[in-house]
Amino acid sequence: MNRNTEQKNTQGTPRFNIADVVILIVIVAIIAALGLRIYNIFGAEEELCRVEATFRVEGVAEEHFSLAKDAKLYSAETNEEVGYIKDFKISDYTELAVNENGELVEAKVPGKKTVTGTIILSCEKTDKGFYLDGTRLLTVGEKIKLYTSTREMMFELNSIKEFSLQTSGSAAAAAQAAAE
């Protein structure tokens, strides 16, 4: 009878070994990672702001050029309005070429223009930087595809900074006058 009693006690006692500990740690790590991911997606609040970016578009054909100051800009990826053109300047498009003396010089390309200017974009501000459409981190040198009501172009970003009324000059005066 003692033998049967001993067998029942060893069979009824749960055995806990190293494999069980490893499985338990893995499950806790997965739950923690999922919780952190959900917090980053839903819990972290991004601050919406306006960003002033200078841009450059090279090699635009004169017959296809159709930009206007204050024209609305739309994201080519989401088709949502993301900002507007604050101002721009048109200059001749040049490429490096070798002249008859064998010197490297800038030569104007007939029928092509370079456009430089400033755009204002609505972005989400995070500790990592400014995100366009909530997914694309804006960086200097990056080319972003935007379009107006008449044209789609690749805007190369030369500088990026948070837009404030102090940086907008006359817009600051207009906003202050409207507030009074």
* Per-residue pLDDT at 119: 93
* Per-residue pLDDT at 77: 86
Select the CATH number that applies to the domain covering 47-179 from these four: 2.70.98.90, 2.40.30.110, 3.40.50.880, 3.40.50.2000. 2.40.30.110
* Per-residue pLDDT at 173: 42
* DSSP secondary structure letters along the chain: -HHHHHHHHHHHSPP--HHHHHHHHHHHHHHHHHHHHHIIIIISPPEEEEEEEEEEEEEEEGGG----TT-EEEETTT--EEEEEEEEEEEEEEEEEE-TTS-EEEEEEEEEEEEEEEEEEEEEEETTEEEETTTEE--TT-EEEEE-SS-EEEEEEEEEEE--GGGGTHHHHHHHHHH-
pTM across the whole model: 0.61
For the chain (180 residues), the mean pLDDT of every run of 10, in chain order, is 52 76 94 85 68 89 77 89 91 89 90 90 87 86 89 88 64 41
